[in-house]
């Protein structure tokens, strides 16, 4: 019996060795062909305009070559290997499909600000810009760094603001961004607009807030608690569109951690930003897991069906932030928003803010809500943007400094359908008030909700009879 088995095994081995196609050939189709960026004339390690232009041209060439042969069955990869560092200027591509950008090394924005374009209408260039593309994967264990410190200085000193975003995508479908580290964007880190089916996961976004604080203090742009009196717009992830999942992310910055932006009838993939989940995130500082801002628009700005879940904030400036914006034409809608399983410790300003955006940019006159509201009683509300059905469930905030928060809606278009379910928001050191400011809101609270917003305790009769 043993002899027969040996003969059978030997026969099978000889048969396999004699085949013209190795067994591993079929599985090799699962791996993308690799195009090394260095083979397209990229110049490593030089932070000057000439090298950055060459590198951007090389990256564009590599992406276009990959695109020329990539298919759904055989995607193609452009690689920046572990030991490589390249500086880039604006790198714009469109109509790219089934391509992977594998960054295991470093891509940095060129620090020569004079080499970047100053675009009209307050538009911002990007180090990497993709439009009208699909089935893209941005991944790797490398770093994309915007070298933002010099840009922040320049904005404060001159008032000119053409800071580039780090990664910008417009009108793209089936996009995955994973595992990378994004640092010190001059403006936004991931600006992802009018998207359909987007998955961002296991990424780190880091802004050197100590450097930002030092810079702002030099020009007296911090309050007495060291909080910036305007943001330098270093948003983490700003998506709009539909069918978005953002998960397992770590973010440290001084502006919105994730800000869901509106879509309207002018968008291609959805007339409303909708069906998004943001979950399993750790946020240090930051200005919230945010809706907006949403100004009115003649094409009807809209955000709906958004869930923020399992978020841990450490020393947030704001944590839960839903904001309208000034405007006198058109309308907008924010509805069906859920914040669930949220924990925040040591909020620096307001743990919760639902109402008009608080913002003041350098060299601009504030045209909206005071950053010091309610101490400074100036915060005009927005009647053209409807807010309804916002739910907070299993939310805990401890150790805040100023007050529990603000819910501020318009008397002619009050907020409706708000619910607080087991929302504990308490501190022994509130300096302004131990109660919410809550005006023109229909709100029900239940479970272990402390403090209860007075608009909930006083019923809705004053607004809705």
State the pLDDT confidence band at 429, using cuts at 50, 70 and 90.
confident
Q: Taking residues 387-408, what's their average pLDDT?
A: 97
pTM value is 0.89
CA distance linking residue 237 with residue 377, whole number of Å: 32
For residue 366 the two structure tokens come to 């504030």
Render pLDDT for 365-384 as a digit per residue (tens, 0 to 9). Answer: 556 788 889 998 889 999 99
- Would you say 59 and 88 are in contact if contact means Cβ atoms under 8 Å apart? yes
Are residues 254 and 209 in contact, defined by beta-carbon separation less than 8 angstroms?
yes
Q: How far is CA 94 from CA 20, 189, 380, in A?
A: 41, 19, 41
Tens-digit pLDDT profile for residues 259-272? 999 999 999 999 99
Percent of all residues in the chain with a pLDDT value above 70, rounded to a whole number: 86
Nearest to 133 by CA among 53, 75, 185, 180: 75
Confidence class for position 286, pLDDT limits 50, 70, 90: very high
pLDDT in tens, 207-253: 987 878 787 788 777 766 666 655 578 999 999 999 999 999 999 99
For residue 83, give both structure tokens.
């030991």
User: Which position has the higher pLDDT, 340 or 10?
Assistant: 340
pLDDT for residue 360: 54
Beta carbons of 223 and 229 less than 8 angstroms apart? yes
Other CB atoms within 10 Å distance of the CB of residue 62: 26
Supply the DSSP string of 372-419, one letter for each residue: TTTTS------TTEEEEEEEEEEEEEES-SSEEEEEE-BTTB-EEEEE
pLDDT of residue 67: 98
Give the C-alpha separation, 362 to 36, whole Å.
42
And the tokens for 427? Answer: 């501190």
């Amino acid at each position: 019996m043993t002899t027969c088995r040996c003969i059978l095994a030997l026969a099978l081995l000889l048969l396999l060795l004699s085949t013209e196609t190795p067994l591993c050939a079929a599985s090799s189709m699962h791996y993308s062909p690799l195009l090394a960026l260095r083979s397209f004339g990229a110049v490593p390690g030089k932070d000057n305009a000439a090298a950055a232009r060459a590198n951007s041209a090389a990256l564009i060439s590599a992406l276009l070559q990959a695109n020329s042969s990539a298919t759904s069955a055989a995607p193609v990869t452009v690689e920046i290997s572990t030991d490589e560092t390249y500086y880039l200027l604006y790198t714009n591509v469109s109509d790219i499909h089934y391509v992977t950008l594998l960054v295991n090394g470093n891509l940095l924005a060129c620090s020569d600000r004079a080499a970047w374009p100053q675009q009209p209408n307050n538009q911002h260039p990007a180090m990497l810009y993709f439009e009208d593309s699909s089935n893209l994967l941005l991944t790797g264990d490398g770093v994309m760094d915007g070298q933002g410190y010099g840009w922040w200085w320049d904005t404060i000193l001159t008032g000119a603001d053409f800071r580039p975003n780090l990664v910008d995508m417009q009108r793209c479908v089936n996009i995955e961004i994973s595992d990378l580290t994004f640092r010190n964007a001059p403006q936004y880190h991931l600006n992802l607009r009018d998207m359909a089916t987007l998955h961002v996961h296991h990424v780190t976004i880091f802004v050197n807030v100590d450097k930002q604080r030092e810079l702002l203090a030099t020009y007296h742009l911090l309050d007495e608690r060291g909080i910036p009196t305007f943001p330098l717009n270093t948003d983490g992830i700003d998506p709009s569109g539909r069918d978005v999942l953002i998960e397992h992310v770590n973010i440290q910055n001084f502006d919105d951690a994730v800000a869901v932006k509106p879509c309207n009838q002018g968008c291609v993939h959805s007339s409303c930003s909708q069906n998004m989940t943001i979950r399993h995130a750790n946020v240090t500082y930051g200005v919230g897991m945010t809706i907006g801002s949403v100004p009115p628009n003649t094409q009807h700005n809209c955000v709906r069906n958004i869930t923020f879940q399992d978020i841990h904030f450490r020393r947030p400036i704001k944590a839960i932030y839903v904001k309208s914006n000034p405007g006198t034409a058109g309308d907008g809608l924010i509805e069906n928003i859920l914040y669930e399983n949220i924990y925040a410790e040591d909020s620096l300003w307001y743990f919760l803010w639902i109402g008009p955006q608080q913002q003041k940019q350098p060299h601009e006159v504030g045209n909206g809500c005071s950053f010091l509201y309610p101490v400074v009683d100036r915060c005009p509300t927005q009647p053209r943007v409807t807010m309804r059905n916002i739910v907070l469930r299993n939310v805990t905030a401890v150790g805040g400094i100023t007050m529990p928060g603000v819910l501020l809606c318009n008397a002619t278009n009050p907020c409706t359908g708000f619910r607080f379910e087991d929302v504990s928001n308490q501190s022994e050191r509130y300096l302004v008030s131990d109660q919410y400011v809550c005006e023109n809101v229909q709100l029900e609270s239940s479970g272990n909700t402390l403090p209860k917003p007075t608009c909930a305790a006083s019923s809705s009769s004053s607004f809705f009879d």
